[in-house]
Structure 1
């Protein structure tokens, strides 16, 4: 995971970008040991502060002094992903009270009771995907299973027609890890999503159905609780995050199990371990190495390091989840561990809205996969697996397995 963009020097970076790309957890261990906060270069090539220890990361995640609003950034200090205004008014760029208002509106779709009602539909989708590869002997699980399952589930929830889902997956994959030699690729993906969502919302307005996007559109029109840009942005965020987090979490979980055969054996012997196993797998190698960037609204100290107001702060969830001050023997996968408190899906008011759905999908998908293929194994050496070159997501390009 690079810490600078091509052609952008990083003379003040404490982070060894080559080491981070080769073995991120080893580099994070070095950083934790050498200090709680480090100078680095963010995903936009601009200077940033990287926080690595569990106690500090968790505190900042819940501290309202740290704003998500890009307008709080010092001029010239931050230049993130450029979204059109219609997609920029989303929860990842908001503080209360707007954040509270919008999150409360959509949270009713992600209550534990409503998510549990999705268990059987998710299981049916998982079984159908496994049926399609059962006779193949070998498969790329990202292409055949861990990718199609989340996009199907989130599109069903939103009300995206099946014929359009391939486009959504392509757009989302592009935004997760845009090709550095194709600078227009991300802009084209954003434009495609904006155009499509605009048309789909107009269709839902004229032809409402029993889906989340229709309900959000009604909230916009009847109660005027969402602006049109907020409606578009919310649909964009739910789709993007609902797919991205789960596809990475599932792929990483399968790799962790296949490279820790003692834990895989324990899980096969006792499927009741699955809910706790998902927490531990999220801690061990979660989908998001970094939380969304933050900007302190006043000068603040983290771990004895003073950070001026408006500078960019990055919180390493991956590092915090391997902090030995919080988790004993953190580099060991232990499905019997109480992983309560792991930060793989965030913490505080910006905790991942779709976390209950991601957990349910992971439980169902892993249970179905392991039951269907009792001799499942990697089809390449672990060191040959190809990871996406992204600071925003920890995920695989492909996952070759023998079934």
Structure 2
């Protein structure tokens, strides 16, 4: 049974990392409910793990249909046609396969040693300056930005522009629609120029690999390359840059689990997975899927043409899948989370993010003994607002200096 009027969405407040307890009520009583976002048409909201996997992975649910619809969304601007997130198979399959040839696990793993050096250099600078330090500006942002710039072949000195452009990609209310359009246009022009440069001056980087990508008669068009390069640049650093301070905040506010991790650093890989499950990164659900035919999800019949949004954060707290889901357990050994998505649109850079987060946690825990808030969380953190993702904008930390 669903409510007559759609509920106003999202439920979470941006200035924190808590998951609104109303999600638990929905999972129990109304796992598929009607919602209304600030923009676009009404939608269904899926809150349970199994329903989430169906909507994200079943070909009866389409992302491409969103381009021609007034898709439910948190910001004025809708989906752009042609990008990976706006396509269905076989177009999506062709594009992703071509990109995956350049974005291999081997290429990512080769970056681990370099990522460790970058992390160590950043920590060296923090130690040299002495506590307190802003984890966001001094470590969380420069680490993934440096890695993704080197991977793509983008000049690191242009990172100031990237941050502005990234905000445009992720803004809900932080920037005006006109600002978002202007910044994104600038990014397309910049990326187009960089691609043209690599055509005449190839290098050992991802942009050159994208230019050379072939599969039988298929190749990436100019627009596809520009959108992919821009998307990889933004997505390739934003998640990690947000999750490093998010993970640190969660660990510092769960001292028993932090002590457990410090005592056994072999838990770092599983800790990253548990923190990905536990931290509700997004303000709310996004990127709706449209039913291409009538589909039954539990007791609800989703009619053909109706959009469904998936709350990944709620699915990752599903009581039927995880024991004590609202508790942080760094040694948890249960079903894999959907923090990186599921199905055809599973995050292309998931392995890169995992590697960076593992390196970051190890560096912070081993190099900065006694790492803690400089005074208190309330005083030491300014939270992002007006964005699709949540996390500290500033995070002041201290440690035991020699």
Q: Same fold (TM over 0.5)?
A: yes
The equivalent position to 1:35 in structure 2, one of 13, 24, 30, is 30
Are residue 195 (structure 1) and residue 189 (structure 2) matched? yes
Residue matched to 2:219: 225
> C-alpha distance in 2, partners of 1:201/1:379?
44
Are residue 243 (structure 1) and residue 234 (structure 2) matched? no
Residue matched to 1:183: 177
> C-alpha distance in 1, partners of 2:179/2:398?
33
> C-alpha distance in 2, partners of 1:187/1:267?
44
> C-alpha distance in 1, partners of 2:38/2:230?
20
Over the aligned positions, Cα root-mean-square deviation in angstroms equals 2.6
- The alpha carbon displacement at 1:47 in A equals 1.8
Distance 1:180 1:160, change over 3 A: closer
The equivalent position to 2:82 in structure 1, one of 86, 89, 94, is 89
- The alpha carbon displacement at 1:290 in A equals 3.0
The equivalent position to 1:62 in structure 2, one of 34, 57, 60, is 57
Residue matched to 1:12: 5
Distance 1:122 1:230, change over 3 A: same
Contact 2:98-2:220 at 8 Å conserved across structures:
no
Residue matched to 1:130: 123
The equivalent position to 2:398 in structure 1, one of 372, 397, 402, is 402
Residue matched to 1:52: 47
> C-alpha distance in 2, partners of 1:47/1:141?
39
Distance 1:222 1:95, change over 3 A: closer
Distance 1:145 1:180, change over 3 A: closer
Distance 1:34 1:378, change over 3 A: farther
SS at match of 2:44: strand
The equivalent position to 1:392 in structure 2, one of 363, 370, 388, is 388
> C-alpha distance in 1, partners of 2:292/2:364?
46
Contact 2:170-2:387 at 8 Å conserved across structures:
no
Distance 1:339 1:197, change over 3 A: farther
The equivalent position to 2:317 in structure 1, one of 322, 330, 338, is 322
Range with greater deviation from structure 2 (219-228 or 249-258): 219-228
Contact 2:145-2:159 at 8 Å conserved across structures:
yes
- The alpha carbon displacement at 1:14 in A equals 2.7
> C-alpha distance in 2, partners of 1:139/1:377?
11
Distance 1:82 1:14, change over 3 A: closer
Distance 1:138 1:114, change over 3 A: same
> C-alpha distance in 2, partners of 1:397/1:40?
29
- The alpha carbon displacement at 1:291 in A equals 5.3
Residue matched to 1:344: 339
Contact 1:25-1:318 at 8 Å conserved across structures:
no
- The alpha carbon displacement at 1:51 in A equals 0.7
Are residue 161 (structure 1) and residue 176 (structure 2) matched? no
Residue matched to 2:270: 276
> C-alpha distance in 2, partners of 1:233/1:297?
26
> C-alpha distance in 2, partners of 1:15/1:33?
19
- The alpha carbon displacement at 1:158 in A equals 0.5
Question: CA-to-partner distance for each residue in 1:51-90, whole Å, 9 max, x for gaps?
Answer: 11111111221101111104575x4455776479xx6311
Contact 2:8-2:37 at 8 Å conserved across structures:
no
Are residue 331 (structure 1) and residue 326 (structure 2) matched? yes
> C-alpha distance in 1, partners of 2:386/2:50?
25
> C-alpha distance in 1, partners of 2:300/2:215?
47
The aligned runs of 1:372-383 (5 Å cut-off) are: 372-379=367-374, 381-382=376-377
SS at match of 1:397: strand
Alignment coverage as a number of residue pairs: 391
Structure 2 unaligned regions, length at least 5: none
